[in-house]
Amino acid sequence: MHSQIARADVSLSALIGIHNELIVGTIAELGSEEQKAQWLPGLSELTQLGAFCLTEPTHGSDIAGGLATTATLDGDEWVIQGEKRWIGAGTVAAVALVWARDTADGLIKCFAVDTTHPGYTATKIANKMGLRIMQNADIVLNEIRVPRTALLPGAISFDAANELLKDSRAWVGWQAVGAQQAILDILRDYSLERVQFGKPLARFQVIQQTMAEIAGNLAASSAMMVQMARLQETGELEMMHAAIAKSTATRLGRQSASLARDALGGNGLLSDYEISKVLATSRPFTPTRAAITSTRSSCPAR
């Protein structure tokens, strides 16, 4: 399903994928019964959106070791203080899943914060060139007081976040598969229609070679992702598999988009012909490989 939504629109697939994997998934897998009852009905029907608040202005790849947002238990309430950046749907979400460091034990935990709460401010990040359906936000969490029960009982260390991110990395690989299907659709249609030197571009071997390279990239990405799905099904998927699948499929996807953009000539630059939109989507959210390394070094028990 992920790849087919991405085939229609990569940006829309980012919105739906993050919603399913990191919002609904986090609450369903790590939340309390009370949190599930409060948030899952609206989120599952998409009448509400959520925001996954991990990245910070000064901590991206090094978030596991560097996360600076704090949560302090004060009587029956948690007091949350900090800033987040790049947060998808942060301006429109009903619930923010905020990852913060417990000042008592130093562990990173997740809290469900109602965004109508005083102290929650979200500002849209402007001028984004790709993935524009999903708006991203800078978020300020100014001494937000939430009940003790806002803590997700299953999310009491960064290992929990890492498990979620492992699956979302896998999903990004499927996005790259869908994007390459779209690239092939666009190039095939264009090269059959566009006539140069008296015949359609599709009749020239150099264009056929481009299509063959893209089809090869697509086949390689799909085969890798199918194997990854098998590993997921049997519970054998490791972070390394997900990271390799994501980085390889998106690398091949970028190469395919670049080849097709070239084959569309000047029209490759116009959003009317779609290829520039696919090219601009590049690689969406999930912390980079450096985050895995820093997580491992900050979690000696793993």
**C-alpha–C-alpha distance, residues 100 and 158, integer Å:** 10
- Minimal distance in Å, beta carbon 274 to ligand FAD? 19
One residue of 5, 10, 13, 86 binding ligand FAD per CB under 6 A: 86
**C-alpha–C-alpha distance, residues 74 and 51, integer Å:** 25
One residue of 55, 175, 180, 222 binding ligand FAD per CB under 6 A: 55
- Minimal distance in Å, beta carbon 138 to ligand FAD? 11
Residue indicated by tokens 């609206």: 42
One residue of 39, 174, 190, 285 binding ligand FAD per CB under 6 A: 285
Q: Which stretch binds ligand FAD (CB under 6 A): 75-83, 85-93, 185-193, 242-250?
A: 85-93
Task: For ligand FAD, give the closer residue by CB, 7 or 169.
Answer: 169
* Position with the least CB separation from ligand FAD: 60
The reply on whether position 52 binds ligand FAD by CB under 6 A is yes
The reply on whether position 247 binds ligand FAD by CB under 6 A is no
The reply on whether position 88 binds ligand FAD by CB under 6 A is yes
The reply on whether position 61 binds ligand FAD by CB under 6 A is yes
First-to-final CA distance of the chain: 33
Q: Closest Cα partner for 143 from 81, 98, 84? A: 81
Q: What is the dihedral of CA 22, 25, 30, 35, to 10 degrees?
A: 100
One residue of 28, 40, 60, 94 binding ligand FAD per CB under 6 A: 60
Distances (CA, A) of 204 to 191, 198, 207, 297: 9, 11, 6, 53
**C-alpha–C-alpha distance, residues 269 and 228, integer Å:** 34
